[in-house]
Amino acid sequence: MLTVKGIATRQRIIDGAAAEIRAHGVAATTLDDVIAVTATSKGQLFHYFPGGREELLLAVADYESERVLVDQQPYLSQLDSWAAWRSWRDRLVQRYRRQGVHCPLGTLITELGRHSPAAQAITGRLIEQWQSDVRAGITAMQQSGQIAPALDAARTAAAIIAAIQGGVTILMSTGSSQHLEAALDTMLLFLRGEATDAGESQDADQRSSGSTPRVSGSSQNSTMTSAAGKKVTSPATANR
């Protein structure tokens, strides 16, 4: 078990390796580079990473996967309003625009072997946590009546993550965030459509129970039925 000092030293090595990889790429980053930039000895490096370069790269990949989620905060963990969803969308687009065509996590996973159990485990944990946070946001909106309760939150969250990954892949190939933005905007439109369905369902429930939903003058129906049975224009909407 590592001491507090040992944990700090290990993290310093990971931070230094991550910075070198971001600056020069994974192929060009050597253990000697990491030792120099972190002011550690070769003995220290192999003490904390007995497996050498591969073990260190795995630790850096794990660190980079955590950064993907940290960079989306505080919005990702507070998706309980439409304003929060929009802010999360903007933060996500800004993050990947700033990253550009070079993805540190992607290059690390490629270097480690995409089909290796260790690399798959890192990617799997990232996707699982990301999807869980989005699902929690959808569920929160359902509980507050802003999204229809019948929507499958888990499958919708999975679709959103898949759309993001597709947009990011195209951004890395073209340098354009257009597809990522389109994917996010379309998913938000879909969720807002479910919000409309939730409102209509709530109104239907109120009508079936014999109660009249409370509305403001600006949201009244544009027509109403007169005593003679004819439809007449509501004063609140006649001049719209």
Specify the range with the lowest mean pLDDT, choosing from 35-49, 95-109, 143-157, 194-208. 194-208
User: Residues 108, 170: one domain?
Assistant: yes
What are the pLDDT digits (tens) for 53-71? 999 999 999 999 999 999 9
* 27-to-9, 51, 54 alpha-carbon distances in Å: 24, 18, 12
User: Residues 10, 26: one domain?
Assistant: yes
CATH number for the domain that contains residue 34: 1.10.10
- Taking residue 173's Cβ as centre, other Cβ atoms within 10 Å add up to 10
pTM: 0.78
User: Residues 3, 112: one domain?
Assistant: no
In a domain, 32, yes or no: yes
| 47, amino acid identity | H
Helix axes 153-174, 117-143, angle to 10 degrees: 120
Nearest to 11 by CA among 42, 40, 52, 54: 40
- Distance (Å, whole) CA 90 – CA 105: 21
- Distance (Å, whole) CA 94 – CA 75: 13
Question: What is the domain count for the chain?
Answer: 2
Domain membership of residue 22 as a residue range:
1-50
Q: What are phi and psi of 233, to 5 degrees?
A: -75, 135
Q: How confident is the model at residue 115 (pLDDT cuts 50, 70, 90)?
A: confident
User: Residues 91, 35: one domain?
Assistant: no
What are the pLDDT digits (tens) for 199-237? 555 554 455 555 444 444 444 443 333 334 444 444 344
In a domain, 15, yes or no: yes
Whether the predicted pLDDT of 143 surpasses 80: yes
